[in-house]
């Protein structure tokens, strides 16, 4: 007998990653298949708020996936996956990002849609399978969708996301604008976090040719609470960069209300990265007006620039 597969999202999990893992494992279970919702790190304060609100247990923590079977949700790159993913068997992928470096020996289910959240894709899979979405699962899926799209305001938002959000809000019996506002406030609750926690709270790694780039993002309604500490944060970034061997380390401090970001950057390719993002960097800081999406407004430009 083989172990049941783990449904698991990316490292430094966010709300969409955790909620998608739980919701997709529940779908598998409803279809009579065995599957365990898992996580590669601790839920952030926003996600913990969501789990408490819908009275759902957090997924089990998986520290090493070697030898296991994995269903990846909300990512499809080994660099972002749970430790040991290269020694695991990937048996499914459900995602909404760029296409990464997952390779398999056998045909598998791999669904990636250019929509605002993995939760949107999973809602569609419930419908395909003709499985009713329970209220708590609707609440989780709505949370993933609203969190990833900044309550439908991010440029990654599609018409599909809007339709799905309305439907999930009805099933969850909440007003999505009001509920979304409560989520965003949690996102902004950076309180007394250490500089390194701010950099690594929502953090992803990317390979662009020979460049190995880490990109953190802070989404907040009060960017000044972060930027007031920029000297300490930039020092912390350089320490993290050296320790982990990144060629470059970026932090996007995103103002959710103004819909723009400030870039903090350390590393070897600051000039070419600044050029790729059409900004000018002075003392490791540059403005990124209009930029709120790492996935859609930063990664593709770096990908082209390093090509």
Residues lying near its own copies in the complex (CB under 8 A) are found at 90, 93, 96-114, 156, 295-296, 299-300, 303-304
Q: What is the CA radius of gyration of the chain?
A: 19
Q: Is beta strand 248-255 parallel, antiparallel or unpaired with respect to 109-112?
A: unpaired
Q: Which is nearer to its own copies, 109 or 257 (CB)?
A: 109
Distance CA 24, CA 281 (A): 42
Structure tokens at 84: 């040991």
Contact 18, 39 (CB under 8 A): yes
Q: Which is nearer to its own copies, 114 or 290 (CB)?
A: 114
CB of 115 to its own copies, least distance (A): 8
What is the helix (H) or strand (E) element at residue 262, kind and residue range? strand 260-267
Q: Which is nearer to its own copies, 152 or 236 (CB)?
A: 152
Of the CA atoms within 13 Å of residue 220, those in its CB half-sphere come to 20
CB of 296 to its own copies, least distance (A): 7
Q: Which is nearer to its own copies, 127 or 228 (CB)?
A: 127
CB of 232 to its own copies, least distance (A): 33
Contact 62, 6 (CB under 8 A): yes
Q: Is the dihedral of CA 143, 144, 145, 147 positive or negative?
A: positive
CB of 208 to its own copies, least distance (A): 9
Distance CA 207, CA 101 (A): 10
Q: Which is nearer to its own copies, 60 or 108 (CB)?
A: 108
**12: closest CA among 247, 264, 257, 204?**
204
CB of 189 to its own copies, least distance (A): 28
Q: Which is nearer to its own copies, 111 or 281 (CB)?
A: 111
Q: Which is nearer to its own copies, 93 or 288 (CB)?
A: 93
What is the helix (H) or strand (E) element at residue 240, kind and residue range? helix 230-244
CB of 21 to its own copies, least distance (A): 19
CB of 128 to its own copies, least distance (A): 8
> What one-character-per-residue DSSP string does 144-165 give?
HHHHHTTTTTSTT--HHHHHHH
How many other CB atoms are found less than 10 A from the CB of residue 280? 11
């Amino acid at each position: 007998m083989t172990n049941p597969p783990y449904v698991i999202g990316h490292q430094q999990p966010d709300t969409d990653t955790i909620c998608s893992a739980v919701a997709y494992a529940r779908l598998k279970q409803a279809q009579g298949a065995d599957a365990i919702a898992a996580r590669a790190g601790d839920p952030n304060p926003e996600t913990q708020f969501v789990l408490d609100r819908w009275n759902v247990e957090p997924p089990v923590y998986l520290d090493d996936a070697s030898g296991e079977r994995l269903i990846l949700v909300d990512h499809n790159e080994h660099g972002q996956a749970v430790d040991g993913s290269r020694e695991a068997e990937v048996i499914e992928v459900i995602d909404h990002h760029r296409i990464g470096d997952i390779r398999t020996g056998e045909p598998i289910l791999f669904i990636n849609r250019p929509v605002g959240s993995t939760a949107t894709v999973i809602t569609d899979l419930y419908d395909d399978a003709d499985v009713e979405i329970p209220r708590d699962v609707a609440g989780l899926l709505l949370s993933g969708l609203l969190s990833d799209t900044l309550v439908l305001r991010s440029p990654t938002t599609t018409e599909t996301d809007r339709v799905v959000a309305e439907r999930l809000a009805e099933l969850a019996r909440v007003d999505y604008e009001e509920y979304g506002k409560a989520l965003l406030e949690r996102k902004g609750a950076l309180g007394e976090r250490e500089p390194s926690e701010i950099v690594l709270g929502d953090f992803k790694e990317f390979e662009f040719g020979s460049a190995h780039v880490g990109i953190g993002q802070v989404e907040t309604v009060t960017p000044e609470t972060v930027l007031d500490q920029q000297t300490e944060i930039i020092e912390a970034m350089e320490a993290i960069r050296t320790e982990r061997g990144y060629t470059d380390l970026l932090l996007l401090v995103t103002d959710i209300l103004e819909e723009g970001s400030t870039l903090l950057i350390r590393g070897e390719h600051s000039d070419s990265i600044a050029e790729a993002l059409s900004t000018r960097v002075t003392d490791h800081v540059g403005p990124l007006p209009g930029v709120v999406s790492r996935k859609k407004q930063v990664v593709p430009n770096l990908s082209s620039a390093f090509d």
